Structure 1
Amino acid sequence: MTVLRSIDPNHTPALLKERGAFFASDDITRFISRWSIRGADDLVMEPSGGDAAFLVSAMARLRELAAEPDTQPIVDGVEIHAHSVRVESQRVREVGGTAHLRHSDFFAIEPEPVYDTVIGKPPYIRYQDFSDECRLRAWEATLRGGVSLKGLASSWAAFTIH
């Protein structure tokens, strides 16, 4: 099934790059979902939802593992970009699931150790391109995680630690 991915029409390729928005293919999301989601009751979270590719593949995997074919899986997600939150919500509904989404900077959310699977691809933003506030939240998140990154670390490193 080919799903049209809707990104904000006002975002040029340069603006998407600035956001670190590089979307994963269906083959990659399917592979990672099958590898990481082991049970129909797994609690799944996507901390940088983007175009919902990982959430959609997680829905398919949860449904595949469910004993009842009409199961309506639930996943959680975080996304900083408002338009992407709307796209994620719509795409998950279209495949018969429910997404509990938070419109927020992932670094502003306190980690919750309740998930069986954290799935996705962190944004790839050069550390130098972080805003001062976001850079500070990322740095604090890595320290809480017990890691001190060098000043030139990319966003994905802090994101993964958090």
Structure 2
Amino acid sequence: MPTADVSARPAVPGDEEAIADIQLAAWRATLGADAVAGLPRDEILAQWGAAIEAPPSRQHRVFVATDGPHVVGFAALAQGEIIALEVAPEHRRLGHGSRLLAACVDTLRIHGTSPVRAWAIEGDEAREAFLASAGFAEGGIRRGMDGPAGEMAELMWRADLS
């Protein structure tokens, strides 16, 4: 079956392998290899498999970006919030993140959801620049969370879709 050279589509069973690898690579790039070294890949893989095959609600979605037949990025939505959006480091700055963001926003618009929220690790200037260029603004909320390297903070970004 012919496929587009680059696209974003809903994730299907089997995509979880690439999603887990992309997530771990992105975390290595952002948090450092030592912080990610001990993470259980099999548990991450199982969580993504469950998110694809049995999402907890109709408001939960997983999308993948493809380059030819290869999955090169992913995004996950949960109740009006983009909870993950990652592109493999070697495929960044090629439009995959924008395609994934568009798939999320289109889905939220179809469901009448506005505003949309996204999170960026505090100090992740590339993520913050990407969100700002897509029309998001800082939302004024900071949350702490456990990360692979210990406590970390995320900043909320938001955009109005109406």
Q: Could you say which structure has the higher helix fraction?
A: 1
